[in-house]
């Protein structure tokens, strides 16, 4: 397994951390169900998960799918969710 740092791995791990933070905020401020969904989505962005999927199933999540899903998640979080409304009130 390649242990070197790549921009894609760093960006993916950073987005996973952001999703975990949003998940915790949802668990505390809104409702546990959206928080759990953010936790499950964060698992997709951890670089070790992609390596595990490639090893066990023979395929990983392509970068373009991660980017598109990330854009949808950000739009949903800031535009539609209750957490976005709470941020607007501040």
Alpha-carbon distance of 75 to 56, in angstroms, equals 32
List, for residues 37-66, the tens digit of each pLDDT value: 889 888 888 888 888 888 888 888 888 888
CA distances 59 to 11, 48, 50, 56, Å, are 20, 13, 8, 8
Predicted confidence (pLDDT) per residue in 72-88, tens digit: 888 887 766 666 666 66
**Predicted structure pTM score:** 0.74
CA-to-CA distance for 90 and 85, rounded, in angstroms? Answer: 9
């Amino acid at each position: 397994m390649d242990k070197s740092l790549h921009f894609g791995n760093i960006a993916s791990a950073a987005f996973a951390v952001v999703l975990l933070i949003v998940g915790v905020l949802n668990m505390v401020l809104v409702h546990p169900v959206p928080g759990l969904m953010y936790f499950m989505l964060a698992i997709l962005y951890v670089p070790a998960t992609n390596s595990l999927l490639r090893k066990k199933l023979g395929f990983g999540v392509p970068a373009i799918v991660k980017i598109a899903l990330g854009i949808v998640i950000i739009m949903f979080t800031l535009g539609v969710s209750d957490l976005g409304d709470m941020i607007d009130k501040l």
